[in-house]
Amino acid sequence: MTDTITGKVVIITGASSGIGEATAKEIAGKGAKVVLGARRADKLEQIAEAIKAAGGEAVWQAMDVTRPEDNDAIVQLAKDSFGRLDAIFLNAGIMPVSNVSALKTDEWRQMVDVNINGVLNGVAAVTPTFTAQKSGHILAVSSVAGLKAYPGTAVYGGTKWFLRDFMECLRMESAMEGTNIRTATLYPAAINTELLSTITDPGAAEGMAGLYQAFGISPDRIAKVVGFALNLPEDTTVSEFTVGPANQPW
What count of other Cβ atoms lies within 10 Å of the Cβ of residue 45?
A: 15
Pick the catalytic residue from 150, 156, 187, 212. 156
Burial class (CB in 10 A: 0-12, 13-18, 19+), 37: buried
DSSP state of 114: I
Query: How far apart (Å, rounded) are the C-alpha atoms in residues 212 and 228?
Result: 25
Give CA–CA dist 158/163, Å, rounded: 9
Known catalytic residue: 156? yes
- 2, with CB counted inside 10 A (0-12, 13-18, 19+), is exposed
Q: What is the dihedral sign for C-alpha 190, 239, 171, 73? A: positive
What distance in Å separates the CA atoms of residue 81 and residue 58, rounded to the nearest whole number?
9
Q: Which residues are catalytic?
A: 156
